């Protein structure tokens, strides 16, 4: 019944749409009028107003905008400009000051005078009733004590510190903008993934409802599918909110207004596949502006101490005047001339004020030394954390890409199986969640790499130049080991492929068990037998027991075990001691990166090994218990013989399955 109603309903919708379009069709424009086509609004704007303005920003452009608009950086620049003016003022204190003072001094006539005498001035300090003084005055200080020079050196040091502060603010702003930009990129990807997950969940729910309508599944599956879809809708709304917050943060830094939609680049456009980290050395932190600022502040404190001590030194000042001092201007030349005043000021005692200021400056310098030591440790920690984060992210990118590809294939297969009733709904929900999680891990790894790489640069904007031409690999990948069994290292005279008779020549007391149905025989060498081998080679020094396996009468496996201990801090420390003894070149890989993951004991799961074409050499300290008990050991395994034994085991299993059951 449902299929028969589909066509009429579709026809009805199409006809209705056509009718509405004809009814709303605009009239033809008059001749000469212009018809403009407005672009559609950008609806991809979470919780924002519709807008037709958009701007695509790259991370370089975002950083450039932030450096132009950020108030924090401008404040640091103002501080640097203010320090520049302090240097000018300190320099001016060493130069003479020019003045042109014009003075008029008028007094009342003296009331005490003899009859017929001319009027005279009343004050004894005056030279006339009306006195006019006009001079060109030059005053200055001859800095014999060095106090002014110390103040100028202090101002220059503070200017350097202010410039370093500007560089610090610039770097922090660039890093904050990079983090905000990639935070928005990641939020966009998270919202896209949430949108896709919701679409998949709704499609699964629709399929489930369709199957329930046909009576092929229970109602519980429908409810579970609908619940999963609602959860995905909630995740989408949370992702939309996170994107809106990330977008606002980037707007604050870059100054892009809220009426403009900001488009960003896709993370997958430039996926890093390697980087040259050899040029990043620990010594590079010495060029960081944080240390430059502290060094400049210390120099300023030292100059403060010097200036305070020089306050008690004699200081020489001078004044040079040229002009006139006359009662009237008629005989002005008679009262014109010049004079010079030189003053030597000898400070005697100021109740310890200068000494206190010098002590205060010295304490400030010592505090800056302690602060510098702490700052160096913090910068080292930041350097190694950033380098480790970048290198780890490179590995995560590769692993996450493989995981995302596998999860996508798994989702497609599970969905097909579900439609054919070979999978349950729980498997679909799990596959869908895994699909979203692995892709998000992939994007997160890319963001972590870019963020960590920027922190390795003295100037984070340099990362745009270093990555513009493509990245170079960290090192040449280690080639796979192609050595065969005969080229395997000899362990104290024991070599893979030896016969039982050859082993008895080395250790006469060895007792080899009878071969089992797979052709495998075993032998255990205890204290006395190990001592015999130890006389031939120091490789078995400290070994407690040696296990041997033979396949078809030839030695195929050697395991040397040390006594239980807890002295090793890690398996890597144990490897650093053991690896030089074997003299075998290659990369030691953990178990989870081995090509052949067949192991004989759970203790071997934490081993590090070198895999070659014909053998595998591995070392480890076992799985530590709660008490830290370690079982150090090393093993040499014939991979060809191991494959033969495995094939025999599979053949035996097939024979057992073909046997008729009682």
Q: In angstroms, rounded to a whole number, what is the distance separating the alpha carbons of residues 236 and 158?
A: 52
User: Which sign does the torsion angle of CA 128, 129, 135, 141 carry?
Assistant: positive
Three-point CA angle 541, 606, 491, nearest 5°: 30
DSSP 410-455: HHHHHHHHHHTTSS-HHHHHHHHHHHHHHHHHHHHHHHHHHHHHHH
Q: In angstroms, rounded to a whole number, what is the distance separating the alpha carbons of residues 313 and 310?
A: 5
| E strands present in 218-377 | 260-264, 315-326, 336-345
Helix, strand or coil, per DSSP, at residue 139: strand
Query: Is the per-residue pLDDT at 127 higher than 70?
Result: yes
The separation between the first and the last C-alpha atoms of the chain, rounded to the nearest angstrom, is 53
Whole-number pLDDT of residue 72: 63
Whole-number pLDDT of residue 23: 33
| Domain boundaries along the sequence of the chain | 485-658
Average pLDDT of span 104-119: 81
pLDDT tens digits, 253-301? 888 888 888 888 877 777 777 666 667 888 888 888 889 989 989 998 9
Token pair, residue 575, equals 């490897």
Q: In the chain, what is the greatest distance between 2 CA atoms, to the nearest angstrom?
A: 164
Please name the helix (run of DSSP H) or strand (run of DSSP E) that holds residue 53, with its range, or none.
Answer: strand 53-57
Please, are residues 600 and 578 in contact by the beta-carbon 8 Å criterion? Answer: no
10 Å CB burial of residue 437 (0-12, 13-18, 19+) is middle
Higher per-residue confidence, 147 vs 569: 147
Q: What is the band of 211 on the pLDDT scale with cuts at 50, 70, 90?
A: confident
Is the overall model pTM greater than 0.95, yes or no? no
User: Which sign does the torsion angle of CA 12, 17, 20, 25 carry?
Assistant: negative
Residue 116 Ramachandran class (φ > 0 left, ψ -120 to 50 alpha, else beta): left
Please, are residues 120 and 110 in contact by the beta-carbon 8 Å criterion? Answer: yes
Q: What does the radius of gyration of the chain's CA atoms come to, in whole angstroms? A: 44
pLDDT tens digits, 45-104? 567 666 677 788 888 888 888 888 766 677 777 777 887 887 888 888 778 888 888 888
Three-point CA angle 404, 407, 409, nearest 5°: 110
* Residues ≥6 apart with Cβ < 8 Å to 232: 194, 197, 198, 200, 201, 202
Query: Is the per-residue pLDDT at 476 higher than 80?
Result: no
Q: In angstroms, rounded to a whole number, what is the distance separating the alpha carbons of residues 291 and 312?
A: 33
Q: In angstroms, rounded to a whole number, what is the distance separating the alpha carbons of residues 478 and 585?
A: 10
DSSP 335: G
What mean pLDDT is reported for the chain? 80
* Residues ≥6 apart with Cβ < 8 Å to 381: none
Q: In angstroms, rounded to a whole number, what is the distance separating the alpha carbons of residues 257 and 252?
A: 9
The rounded percent of the chain whose pLDDT value lies above 70 is 87
Q: In angstroms, rounded to a whole number, what is the distance separating the alpha carbons of residues 78 and 158?
A: 14
């Amino acid at each position: 019944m449902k299929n028969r109603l589909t066509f009429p309903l579709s026809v009805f919708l199409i006809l209705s749409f056509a009718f509405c379009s004809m009814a709303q069709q605009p009239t033809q424009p008059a001749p000469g009028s212009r018809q403009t086509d407005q672009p559609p609004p950008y609806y991809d704007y979470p919780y924002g107003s519709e807008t037709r303005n958009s701007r695509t920003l790259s991370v370089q452009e975002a950083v450039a905008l932030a450096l132009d608009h950020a108030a924090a950086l401008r404040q640091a620049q103002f501080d640097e400009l203010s320090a520049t003016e302090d240097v000018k003022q300190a320099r001016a204190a060493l130069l003479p000051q020019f003045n042109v003072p014009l003075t008029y001094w008028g007094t009342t006539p003296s009331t005490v005078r003899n009859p017929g005498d001319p009027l005279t001035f009343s004050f004894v300090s005056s030279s006339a009733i009306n006195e006019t003084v006009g001079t060109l005055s030059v005053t200055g200080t001859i800095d014999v004590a060095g106090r002014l020079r110390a103040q100028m050196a202090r101002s220059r040091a503070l200017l350097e510190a202010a410039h370093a502060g500007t560089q610090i603010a610039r770097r922090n702003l660039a890093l904050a903008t990079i983090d905000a930009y990639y935070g928005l990129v990641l939020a966009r990807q998270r919202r896209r993934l949430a949108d896709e997950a919701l679409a998949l969940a709704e499609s699964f729910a629709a399929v489930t409802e369709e199957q329930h309508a046909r009576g092929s599944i229970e109602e519980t599956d429908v409810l579970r599918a609908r619940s999963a879809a609602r959860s995905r809708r909630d995740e989408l709304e949370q992702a939309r909110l996170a994107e809106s917050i990330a977008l606002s943060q980037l707007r604050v830094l870059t100054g892009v207004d809220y009426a403009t939609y900001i488009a960003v680049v896709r993370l997958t456009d430039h996926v890093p596949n390697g980087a040259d980290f050899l040029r990043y050395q620990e010594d590079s932190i010495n060029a960081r502006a944080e240390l430059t600022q502290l060094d400049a502040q210390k120099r300023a404190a030292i100059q403060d101490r010097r200036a305070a001590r020089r306050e008690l030194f004699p200081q020489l000042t001078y004044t040079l005047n040229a002009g006139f001092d006359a009662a009237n201007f008629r005989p002005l030349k008679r009262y014109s001339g010049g004079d010079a005043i030189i003053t030597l000021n000898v400070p005697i005692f100021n109740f310890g004020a200068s000494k206190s200021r010098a002590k205060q400056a010295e304490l400030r310098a010592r505090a800056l030394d302690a602060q510098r030591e702490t700052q160096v440790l913090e910068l080292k920690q930041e350097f190694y954390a950033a380098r480790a984060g970048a290198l780890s992210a490179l590995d995560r990118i590769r692993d996450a890409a493989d995981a995302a590809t596998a999860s996508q294939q798994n989702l497609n297969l599970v969905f097909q199986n579900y439609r054919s009733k070979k999978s349950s709904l729980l498997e679909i929900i799990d596959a869908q969640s895994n699909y979203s999680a692995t892709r998000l891990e992939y994007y997160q790894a890319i963001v972590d790499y870019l963020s960590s790489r920027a922190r390795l640069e003295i100037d984070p904007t340099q990362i745009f130049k270093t990555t513009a031409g493509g990245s170079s690999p960290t090192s040449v990948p280690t080639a796979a080991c192609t050595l065969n069994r005969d080229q395997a290292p000899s362990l104290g005279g024991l070599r893979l492929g030896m016969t039982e008779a050859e082993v008895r020549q080395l250790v006469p007391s060895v007792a080899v068990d009878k071969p089992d149905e797979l052709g495998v025989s075993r032998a255990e060498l205890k204290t006395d037998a190990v001592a015999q081998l130890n006389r031939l080679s120091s490789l078995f020094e400290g070994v407690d027991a040696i296990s041997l396996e033979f396949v078809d009468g030839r030695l195929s496996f050697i395991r040397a075990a040390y006594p239980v201990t807890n002295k090793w801090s890690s398996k890597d420390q144990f490897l650093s001691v053991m690896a030089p003894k074997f003299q075998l070149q290659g990369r030691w890989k953990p178990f989870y990166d081995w090509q052949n993951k067949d192991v004989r004991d759970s203790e071997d799961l934490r081993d590090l090994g070198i895999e070659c074409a014909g053998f595998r050499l591995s070392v480890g300290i076992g799985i530590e218990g709660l008490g830290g008990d370690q079982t150090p050991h090393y093993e040499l395994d014939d991979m060809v013989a191991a494959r033969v034994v495995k094939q025999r085991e599979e053949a035996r299993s097939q024979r057992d399955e073909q046997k008729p059951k009682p």
